[in-house]
Amino acid sequence: MPVITLADFQRVDIRVGTIVSAEPFPEARKPAYRLQIDFGPMIGLKKSSAQITDYYSPESLLGQQVLAVVNFPSRQIGPMLSEVLVLGLSKDERDGGGIVLVAPGEDVSNGKRLH
């Protein structure tokens, strides 16, 4: 496993945001949702595609806080420009596989940075 420095880690800007819109994204190659996430007044609303359909419905995602990398370049995914990378963890195959979202344990203000 490659070793990184603290300076390397600090260049990755991971922020908390609240999902304000979630809808199916049928144009994606793998099952995914199209998300709109509010990162507060400094960053604003950002779009993302997330392959999280195994454990979440669009309705269950509304109002949920998530962690995302906000300083990667935007990426074209089908007809959508994904602006942030929502963070998730793969479950073991024995647990059914799929991705679960990384989220704070308590509500925090949108836009707060992970330290």
Classify residue 114: in a domain, yes or no: no
Classify residue 32: in a domain, yes or no: yes
Kindly report the backbone phi and psi dihedral angles of residue 41, in degrees, each rounded to the nearest multiple of 5, phi listed first.
-65, -25
- Measured CA to CA, the distance from residue 87 to residue 9 in angstroms comes to 15
Classify residue 45: in a domain, yes or no: yes
Q: Is the pTM of this model over 0.75?
A: yes
Classify residue 95: in a domain, yes or no: yes
The DSSP symbol for 8 reads H
- Measured CA to CA, the distance from residue 94 to residue 61 in angstroms comes to 24
The total of structural domains in the chain comes to 1
Please tell me the predicted confidence (pLDDT) of residue 91: 87
Mean pLDDT, residues 77-97 = 88
Classify residue 38: in a domain, yes or no: yes
**For residue 95, what pLDDT band results from cuts at 50, 70 and 90?**
low
Please tell me the predicted confidence (pLDDT) of residue 93: 73
**For residue 92, what pLDDT band results from cuts at 50, 70 and 90?**
confident
Query: What is the span of the domain harbouring residue 22?
Result: 6-101
Please tell me the predicted confidence (pLDDT) of residue 18: 98
Classify residue 42: in a domain, yes or no: yes
